[in-house]
Amino acid sequence: MKRAVMLAVGAVLVWSATSSSQNYHYPSIQRETNGDIRLVLSESQERAVKDFLMRHSDLELVKSHPGGSDGEWRKRVDEYMRSGEMQFPYAVWRDLNRDGLQDLVLVFATKRPINNFGWRNRWIVVFEGKRGGGFRPIVVTNNEQGSCFDGMLFHKAQGTVEFACFNVAAGLFRWDGKEYAIIKHMVGD
């Protein structure tokens, strides 16, 4: 049985999903009083990210909107989060490969721009839950280029994860029974 918990912690609201039937540790979302949201990972998730970044020192985890939290982006994110399609703009947590274990999808970006426009490559990485604990990182894509990467949505009916620049371009991937397959690369302006 799953339950959602909303706690007031000082000037921050914390949302966390917990499960009483499984020993899963879901990420949590903190909403600051200024409206910004922040992803908070569990200890085992932080360890998996740290291990991944040790092998990919040119990357950093995307934890906030790179262009700032402009009003239109924040409004869209709030709508998607209320609908349940989005858990956090740069993270999705579900049992994507249907093995009974929680998987975590995160977005990483190159630390340095790849062109004169300041664009950075975006890496989408699935951290598959492993029996006995921990995660195994699997790079879904490491070449989604563009000046815009607004977030990821999970479409339950199709079992797909959409990564998008809202109203401009979107890509899709899903577990196909063997691997995380890109159905559509993000293409647009």
Please name the residues in contact with 9: beta carbons below 8 A apart, sequence gap of 6 or more: 30
- DSSP assignment of 70-106 equals -HHHHHHHHHHHHHTS-SBTTEEEE-TTSSSS-EEEE
- Residue 109 pairs in a beta bridge with 60, 122
Question: pLDDT digits over 74-102, tens only?
Answer: 888 889 999 888 999 999 999 999 999 99
| Residue among 151, 145, 153 nearest 189 (CA) | 145
pLDDT computed for residue 7 by the predictor: 38
Please name the residues in contact with 105: beta carbons below 8 A apart, sequence gap of 6 or more: 91, 92, 93, 96, 124, 125, 126, 127, 140, 152, 161
**Does position 16 have pLDDT exceeding 50, yes or no?**
no
Please name the residues in contact with 35: beta carbons below 8 A apart, sequence gap of 6 or more: 69, 74
**Does position 66 have pLDDT exceeding 70, yes or no?**
no
Q: What average pLDDT does this structure show over 108-132?
A: 88
For the chain, give every domain's residue range. 2-184
**Does position 17 have pLDDT exceeding 50, yes or no?**
no
pLDDT computed for residue 4 by the predictor: 40
**Does position 22 have pLDDT exceeding 60, yes or no?**
no
